Structure 1
Amino acid sequence: MVDLGQAGESLVAAWLEQQGAKILQQRWRSPWGEIDLIAHFPATMMLAFVEVKTRSSGNWDQGGLLAVNGRKQEKLWQTANHFLASRPQWADLNCRFDVAIVFCLGDNNPTSHKEELPSSFKQGQTIIYHGYRLRLEQYLTNAFGG
C-alpha cells in the first residue's frame, strides 16, 4: 500500500513532469537525511531539490511550512551537496530548494491497487490517488537558500 507521504510525493512528481521537469530521484538518501524529489529542468539547466510536505486538515504546522525550519534546511543543503558530490555530471547546474505543500482532504480510503495519476492536472485541483484525496496547495520555488 502507498502511504500518504509517498502519494503526495508522486502527485508533486507528476505535476513537475507536466512543467517540463525530469525526476532524477525520489526519496534520495544520504548520511544527513533524505530529499523527497530531485528534478532536472532541461530548458533552464536547473536542478531542484524538492521537499514535499503532505498534511491533512487540522495540522499544527501551517500545512508543513513550519516543518521546513532552519535545521531541516541545513540537512537538505548537506544532502544536496552529497548528491552533487556523488554525481559530478549535475554539479555545474544552477540549483534551488523548492517546497511543495500537499493537502490530504477528508474521507480517504487508502487502497493497494495500482492507480495512475491523471496526465494533466492543475495546482489546486483535487486528485484521487490510491484512495487519498490530494491537492497540490502550494509550490514554493526557491523557498530558501543554501
Structure 2
Amino acid sequence: MDTTLSFSSEDRRRAPADPFDSPSVRAPRGEAAPNPLDVLAFRFADIDLTPRQLGALGEQYAAAWLERRGCTVLDRNWRSRYGELDIIAVTPEHIVLFVEVKTRRNARYGTPQEAVTAHKRLALRRAGVQWLLCPEHRMAHRGVRFDVIAITAPVGASPTVNHIREAF
C-alpha cells in the first residue's frame, strides 16, 4: 500500500494554518498519521509566507524537532519585560532548555544564528531567569541551557536544522 502524500502546486501555495486541518495530509483509516515534521517541512514550500509566518513556522518545526528527540516542550512564545523566549523545553536528562529559533530562506543577510547578537543573548538570559522565578514554573532540574536552533528553508528544498547546544 502506497503511503506517500501527494500535494498539488495549489496546495503548496495555500498551506493551512494548522498542518493537520488539511484533508490532503490526513492518512487513510487504519494507517499511521503523517510525520508532523514532514507536514511542517512541506509548508516551507509556500512562497507567499511573510517573514512573520516563516518565523512562526520555524518555531513550530523546531518544537516538533525537539520533541522527536525526546524533549518535552513546556512553553512557547513566553513573554517577559526582557523579551520573548521562543521555546522552553526539558530534556530527558532534566535539563531546562531555553531555545531561540531563527529561520531564514537563504544566507543573503547572514546565517540565522548570526542574528542572535550579544544584546539578544543578554535579554534571553534575563528572560530565562524570569521564567525560572515564576512559581508555576518551579520544577526539579539538573541545569539550564541556552540553545539556538537555526533553520534554513530555501524554497523548493527541505529545511536544514543547525542545533547549537550551549550557544551562550
TM-score by length of 1: 0.73
Indicate if the aligned counterparts of 1:8 and 1:54 stay in contact, CA closer than 8 A: yes
Counterpart of 1:34? 84
Q: Distance in 1 between matches of 2:108 and 2:99?
A: 21
Partner of residue 79 from structure 1, selected from 103, 107, 127:
127
User: Which deviations, in whole Å up to 9, do the C-alpha atoms of 1:36-87 show, x marking residues without a partner?
Assistant: 100111x21101000000001243122x222111100000000000000114
Q: 1:71 aligns to what SS in structure 2?
A: helix
Bigger Rg over Cα: 2
Counterpart of 2:74? 24
Partner of residue 151 from structure 2, selected from 82, 97, 102:
102
Count how many residue pairs are aligned between Structure 1 and Structure 2: 117
Counterpart of 2:101? 52
Counterpart of 1:110? none
Flag the 1:86–1:93 CA change in 2: closer, same or farther, 3 A.
farther
Gap runs ≥5 in structure 1: 108-124, 127-134
Counterpart check, 1:66 vs 2:66: no
Flag the 1:77–1:91 CA change in 2: closer, same or farther, 3 A.
farther
1:136 to partner: Cα distance: 3.3
Indicate if the aligned counterparts of 1:56 and 1:106 stay in contact, CA closer than 8 A: yes
Indicate if the aligned counterparts of 1:100 and 1:136 stay in contact, CA closer than 8 A: no
Counterpart check, 1:143 vs 2:154: no
1:140 maps to a residue whose letter is: I
Higher share of residues assigned strand: 1
Percent of aligned pairs with the same amino acid: 32
Indicate if the aligned counterparts of 2:87 and 2:98 stay in contact, CA closer than 8 A: yes
RMSD across aligned C-alpha pairs, in angstroms?
1.9
Q: Distance in 2 between matches of 1:97 and 1:20?
A: 17
- Runs of 4 or more off by more than 6 Å in structure 1? none
Indicate if the aligned counterparts of 2:94 and 2:141 stay in contact, CA closer than 8 A: no
The one of the two structures with greater contact order (alpha-carbon pairs below 8 A, sep at least 6) is: 1
TM-score by length of 2: 0.64
Gap runs ≥5 in structure 2: 1-15, 18-52
Q: 1:73 aligns to what SS in structure 2?
A: helix
